[in-house]
Amino acid sequence: MKYWGEYKIRLAKTILGEQVAIQNLSYYRNQLFYYIVLYTLAFSPIAIVPGIFASYLTGFINLAILNIATFLILIILALVKPINIETRKIILISILFIIAWTLFFELNLEGPGLMYLFTVTIVTCLIHSGKSAYLLILFNSIILCFIGLNIEFQWLSLAITENQSITTWFGIVVNLIFLSIIIVACFEIIFKKLEKIIVQQRILNETVNQDNQKILNTQKVLKEKNEELNQFAHTIAHDLKEPLRSMQAFSHLTISKYKDSIPEKGQEFLHHIQTSSERMALLLDSLLEYSQLGKGKQKSVFSVKELVKELEKDLSQLIQENEAIIRYNGLPKIIGYELEFKQLLQNLIANAIKFRKDNEEIEVKIKANEKDKHWEFLVTDNGIGIDSKHREKIFTIFHRLHKNKFPGTGLGLANCKKIVEIHGGDIWVDSIPEKGSTFYFTISKNLEAAPINE
């Protein structure tokens, strides 16, 4: 099998050269020609060697010479490089044509000459073109008709026409020509339809490739814009901190140093300035944290169950103060960004506790379902719920539903969405107002090995 493989590769390089994409029917004709030469050369000694001996022993020296010449030509077609494939095809068709007529004249009507004439016509149609096959049929028809007429009128003294009946001759010849025309015509119909399909497929592939390139270009632009936006958010959050710290310091200094000389209304204004600047600082910290999510982090294998246990300790004060119950089971080990995933669960648990109903025990359930390509997680609560018109908006940055009732920055769920996206997943919510909410999110099982956003 090793030598057969090397033989196939050698012939493919010699005959086909560099492989190209399928453009038209010529690709398949060339492939068919390659396989004809491949198998004919490999197995021809089985027929040629006995044929040479048989021809020599029976006195048909011409056939013996032709067998040897045919074998040598096959070697040239298969192994000699500086010949283009169309020339190789013409050489093969020519040698088959010569073999057919030689057999015909040497062995008369009883030999395999007519069968070879039929074969060379079909081979021409398959590896070259239908037009060439029709020309070959026409040429054969003219010669065969001339030979038939010679049987009747004896214009020339030919051994092939001796003791032949013109009726038998034309009966065989007409059937041969008719069968050749029918088969070539059928092949041409099939080939034209196949070529139409190939052209349509090529156009479709080109369109798909163009669309894919547009998508890749759009993704590249989007990635660049996201990086610019993250850098802008990082810069803004970082650069605004300094003036905010100055504002907080000076307002605090003014209140503490000039408290007695500032009217009560002025002190109230300064207190508002201090409170607003503290809130602004919190927003900037949150924005900075949002811009840095997932940057330069490495994946690891971790237990979601252990993360929830850690969160119970981290949020123990919040859980105890609100008498919340956290239930979870069947949580798996996954591959992901552990710190970000922990923050994701922390935000969802904290929100479930924060948006509780008055005078009702808080219950948060966490579970996971394994799918073919991802993990699906559910975080369910029995809180105040979310109106259906807000289910998309709650994941946008700085969006808050209960500004006056509950504290926050409006970045918690935006962070959750970004964390889920860097894990190759989606996040959504099902909720009934005053009944509770279930947050669903998916985590891909096929995250890339490289760190993101380095």
Domain assignment of residue 27, yes or no? yes
User: Where residue 375 falls among pLDDT bands split at 50, 70, 90?
Assistant: very high
Query: What is the pLDDT of the chain when averaged over all its residues?
Result: 82
Look at residues 164, 180, 201 and tell me which one is the last residue of a structural domain: 164
Query: For 20, phi and psi rounded to 5 degrees?
Result: -120, 165
Q: What is the dihedral of CA 417, 422, 426, 428, to 10 degrees?
A: -10
CB 391 within 8 A of CB 428: yes
What value does the mean pLDDT take over residues 394-401?
Answer: 73
Two tokens, residue 13: 């390089």
pLDDT at residue 250, rounded to an integer: 72
Q: Which residue has the tokens 């453009």?
A: 23
pLDDT at 229 over 50: yes
Domain assignment of residue 204, yes or no? no
The set of residues, in sequence order, having a beta carbon less than 8 Å from that of 137 and lying 6+ positions away, is 121, 177, 180, 181, 184
406-416: string of b/e by CB count within 10 Å (b at 16+)?
eebbbbbbbbb
Look at residues 100, 133, 164 and tell me which one is the last residue of a structural domain: 164
Q: Which residue has the tokens 């089971």?
A: 329
The set of residues, in sequence order, having a beta carbon less than 8 Å from that of 299 and lying 6+ positions away, is 335, 336, 337, 447, 449, 451
Mutual angle of helices 113-127 and 25-58, in 10-degree steps: 160
What value does the mean pLDDT take over residues 266-271?
Answer: 76
Domain assignment of residue 284, yes or no? no
Q: CA separation (Å) from 432 to 228, 385, 436?
A: 38, 5, 6
What value does the mean pLDDT take over residues 170-190?
Answer: 86
pLDDT at residue 443, rounded to an integer: 94
Question: Which of the listed ranges 16-30, 44-58, 118-132, 237-251 does the model predict with the highest average pLDDT?
Answer: 118-132
User: Where residue 453 falls among pLDDT bands split at 50, 70, 90?
Assistant: very low
Spell out the alpha helix ranges (H) of 301-337: 304-314, 316-321
What value does the mean pLDDT take over residues 88-98?
Answer: 89
% of residues, the chain, pLDDT over 90: 15
pLDDT at residue 398, rounded to an integer: 67
pLDDT at residue 234, rounded to an integer: 67
Lowest-pLDDT choice from 33-37, 245-249, 283-287, 377-381: 283-287
For 116, the domain range is: 2-164
Neighbours of 99 (CB within 10 A): 21
pLDDT at residue 370, rounded to an integer: 92
pLDDT at 282 over 70: no
What value does the mean pLDDT take over residues 433-451?
Answer: 80
How far apart CA 93 and CA 338 sit, in angstroms, is: 70
How far apart CA 144 and CA 164 sit, in angstroms, is: 13
What value does the mean pLDDT take over residues 37-49?
Answer: 85
pLDDT at residue 374, rounded to an integer: 93
User: Where residue 142 falls among pLDDT bands split at 50, 70, 90?
Assistant: confident
Lowest-pLDDT choice from 56-70, 340-354, 429-443: 56-70
Lowest-pLDDT choice from 132-136, 150-154, 185-189: 150-154
For the chain, helix (H) and strand (E) counts, in that order, are 12, 7
Residues 7 and 154 in one domain: yes
pLDDT at 175 over 80: yes
User: Where residue 291 falls among pLDDT bands split at 50, 70, 90?
Assistant: low
Domain assignment of residue 25, yes or no? yes
Distance, C-alpha 176 to centroid of its chain: 50
Domain count, the chain: 2
pLDDT at residue 107, rounded to an integer: 74
User: Where residue 452 falls among pLDDT bands split at 50, 70, 90?
Assistant: very low
Of residues 143 and 267, which shows the higher confidence score?
Answer: 143
pLDDT at 294 over 70: no
| Domain CATH number, residue 337 | 3.30.565.10
Domain assignment of residue 259, yes or no? no
Look at residues 137, 164, 191 and tell me which one is the last residue of a structural domain: 164
- What's the one-letter identity of residue 59? G
Domain assignment of residue 260, yes or no? no
Of residues 310 and 292, which shows the higher confidence score?
Answer: 310
Of residues 299 and 272, which shows the higher confidence score?
Answer: 299
Kindly report the pTM of this predicted structure.
0.50
Domain assignment of residue 419, yes or no? yes
Closest CA to 114 of 95, 141, 132, 92: 141
Closest CA to 313 of 326, 300, 301: 326
Lowest-pLDDT choice from 61-70, 190-199, 261-270, 378-387: 261-270
Distance, C-alpha 448 to centroid of its chain: 17
pLDDT at 450 over 60: no
How far apart CA 442 and CA 182 sit, in angstroms, is: 62
% of residues, the chain, pLDDT over 70: 85
Query: For 335, phi and psi rounded to 5 degrees?
Result: -105, 125
What value does the mean pLDDT take over residues 70-74?
Answer: 88
Question: Which of the listed ranges 64-73, 264-273, 392-401 does the model predict with the highest average pLDDT?
Answer: 64-73
Domain assignment of residue 179, yes or no? no
How far apart CA 43 and CA 37 sit, in angstroms, is: 10
